[in-house]
Structure 1
Amino acid sequence: MLPWVTLLVLAPLSGQWATTTKPIISLHPPWTTVFQGERVTLTCNGFHYSPQKTKWKHSYQRRETVRDIPGDTLEVHESGEYRCQAGRSTLSNPVRLDFSSASLILQAPLSVYEGDLVVLRCRSKARVALYTIYKNGEALTSLEGTSDFFIRDARLKDTGAYHCTGFTEDHSISSNKVQIQVQDLFPTPVLRASPSQPLEGRSMTLNCETRLPPQKSKVQLQFCFFRDRQALGSGWSNSTELHIPAMWTEDSGSYWCQAGTKNLSIIRKSWSSQIHVQIPVSRPVLTLRPAGALAFEGTTVTLHCEAKKGSPRILYQFYHGDVPLGSSLTPSGSGVSFSLSLTTQHSGNYYCTADNGLGPQRSEAVSLSVTGKPWAPASHPPLAEPSLTHPFRSLHVSFSFLPK
């Protein structure tokens, strides 16, 4: 279980207020379409300081002009695409402005994100009695006593092509079309665990990673962490991190996180990650069967090595002195055994090791003394002596797994 959990509050939030080397242009007033003769002020944003000079590029009908302007603002009155650059930054994304000569225009903001309050404004040079707003060619509503249409708490479903119409005294007029593209406020969060497979009794830190666009750097997100269906810690928090001081085997499970806005109107869930608490192997125990340090030639002895604790899979290795006898990888937490037919050259100390990748452990040594054959009546023929030039050259090892 997780009886204690510590939340780390980091400010500013990593990933939310990350700086960018690409500046962003903002508009005042905030419309991309205005009437001819009006002016729009562009600001080159994205710096912790006000640059001494800003390079502005203006492109229109295959013509491009470049100007270095003191400060970070530029007042313009011509249609076209505008980009800015300051210091060692890269060029900003282009912003397209339209200074229109039409009698009716629909004004819209430069960018729209989930949760925004979006204002679409119909403006006419002539007196208009009634405006109607359209989306993708279908009428949405008529505007009485106002020229503003509001999209409250914008969602992806609000993406589309908008325009408006108006009625003057003698005819109907129609505006330009504006493409509204509602963008995700932040991408699906990613849960990262450090370490990804913690050791029993050791700490683990979870991090819920996502990123706000620079235009929305002032938006505050909150986060919540889960194991299976259970919320961890105190629930929703401003912290991207959750620190768990000690992990135990029962804390293994499916972990995931959620990121959301303050009012939780926008929530996104990460993919789940399976986290298994790893248990290092305990010191294995080597036993002889039948028990006893004294054995006779020709008898069969079984060596059994088993670690009582440890996450599978466990690699067991057997040694006679410093000579390896063999190894076996167990698919579960069971021990492993093998049998051998003894000769006097099998006398000596035996030990085994166990390793599941978290550090090997070595058993205590077990001594085995092999003596000559026991006395037999003369009527029985003597047993043949094995001929060995190496004590284990003719050794036949038979492994078996014994469940706990």
Structure 2
Amino acid sequence: MCSPRSIFSEYFPMSSLWMENKPSFGETDLLCPQPRQFPMLLWLLLLLILAPGRDQSDKLTLQAPHSVFEGDEVVLRCQARGEAREIHFYRNEYQIQPNFTLKSVSRNDDKYHCSALMRGFWGWKKENSKHLTIQIQELFPPPMLISRPFSPIEGSPVTLKCETWLPPQRSDIQLRFCFFRKDEALGSGWNSSPELKLPTVWSEDAESYWCQAETVTPHIRKRSLRSQLYVQRIPVSDVNLEIQPPEGQLTEGENLLLICSVAKGTGTVTFSWHREGTVRSLGRKTQRSLSAELQILTVKESDAGRYYCAADNIHGPVLSKLVRVTLSIPVSRPVLTVMSPRMKAMVGDVVELHCESQSGSPPILYRFYHENVTLGSSSVPSGRAAFKFSLTVEHSGNYSCEAENSLGVQHSDRVIISVTVPVSHPVVTFSPAGTEAVVGDVLELHCEAQRGSPPILYWFYYKNVTLGSREAPFGGGASFNLTLMAEHSGNFSCGADNGLGVQHSEMVILSIIGPPSNKTFLITVGVTAGLLSILGLAATAALVHHFRTRRNSERPSITGTPSCSPREFQEPSRTSNTNPQEPPDPVQLQPVYDNVNPRDSDLVYSEIWSTQHTKENSANSPRKHREDKEPTVIYSDVKRAYPDDSAGQASIGDSDLEDAAENYENVPCILPALDH
């Protein structure tokens, strides 16, 4: 029941010696002490309280390998002396699993221990083992990045090496490597080779590089420090510009190729092309090469000049020598202009032809043509060519010119020159021919100038008074018809004008003689009419008196019954004319009988009409008829106002007729009698 030995041996191990030499007690002494034993029990309890406790390491012991490599698996064991439960393992006071793998040696001062609940005198109590440090050895050191060469020349290869090693105890472990520029992996990624070869490096590749090394099993990865790569650049030199086609001889419209090259220089080179005298470059290219090309399409005259190129790879631009580019330009289509002293060229004028091409490589040969016949030629280095000549009549027609250089010929448009010939002195002729004519004949005046450019305007004159005008639009002559009267005896002439001045003909005298050959017949008809007038004298006298009264009281009527007023037929109408000197056409009516100033009579003029008059009448005619549908005059006569007047005037004006109305007779009302 109570076993002092077990209790003392359990809780007071240090007193085991004492227990062996303690006084003899019975087994029931402690459980059932006797009064005489109380001092001894008190003394034992005091020893129990004051006696030092048993060391913890004796109760729990942490078992672990003393030295391991990175990546090795570590197994921890907790050895307990006595009954224990709920055993836990700790690293730096943090609970861990008993089995784990060490992956890093970054912390070699980790402290490990274990804990458990152990049965004690007073029940279950948590006990801890002593702290233990595990020595971890590095599997391989962090790699070091090495470049060979250390400072490469731009464009040359570089070898990068990720250098590390394994301990002899772990030489069987396989490593793999990966290289980086900044944060970008190079090559194909992880590789078993610790070296990476870069075929070429450029100045822009001068960055920080680093590498990583790792084991496949166990997985231990380490990286190197960053290492800066320095790349040397060689400046460009011996810049040269080449032109195709060779020697810079081009024809306008072709393509020009400019090739810029350098003999030395590394890295990225910037090429630029320039034409002398211009600020802006013609083109620019940046590339990793020792030459570059620029093509100028469809060159024109303004592209001629001297060219050069420049190359730069950060150390400053280097210029090439100047190369000249010349262009052979075909002549453009020439323009022909005519320089004349006046708007209309005249015979005798000095005319100058100008032929000019706006573009073309000199020298240019100009030729001038008249109706495809060469007039002359001229070769000029630049500008235009001129050709002068004096105009004749034969120079009218088409003119052109052509321009020619080594690249071809161009023809101008045709220009028409019309040489205006002034009219010569015209000649006036009569038809019928002769210098005598009979009253009442229709005389044709013909005026013609033998020379002169059309259109020609002809004027016809009688005693320097304009009779009228006619135009000949295509040249030749013109005619004017006139019904002759007695007063038309005199001088006739004509003039011709084509805008360069009027030329007058010589005057031709025409004499007007008596009536035509049927005069006897007409007189007979007149006498018969007179007898019929006497037979009806009474009626006729009344009618005459009636019409005279009506003439004095009323104005002539245009419509209605035909009037018997003598003023209606003798007063000429006032018609407008574009030329105030040009008379209207002569009267178209032809009399059946007329008599002008018989010698043995007091009549000045007598006439019998049998046809209608027309609307148009001559201004020179002594009579002008109004338009009417019926014949208005059958018989009329004009008596002398003063029979004894010795003046014997051949014609009487309108004012005289007004004053001598009583001396005029007109008997239109006998027409029905004549018709019957």
TM-score by length of structure 2 reads 0.31
Q: Which has the higher strand share?
A: 1
Structure with greater contact order relative to length (CA < 8 Å, sep ≥ 6): 1
Instruction: Name which one, 1 or 2, has greater alpha-carbon Rg.
Output: 2
Bigger fraction of residues in helix? 2
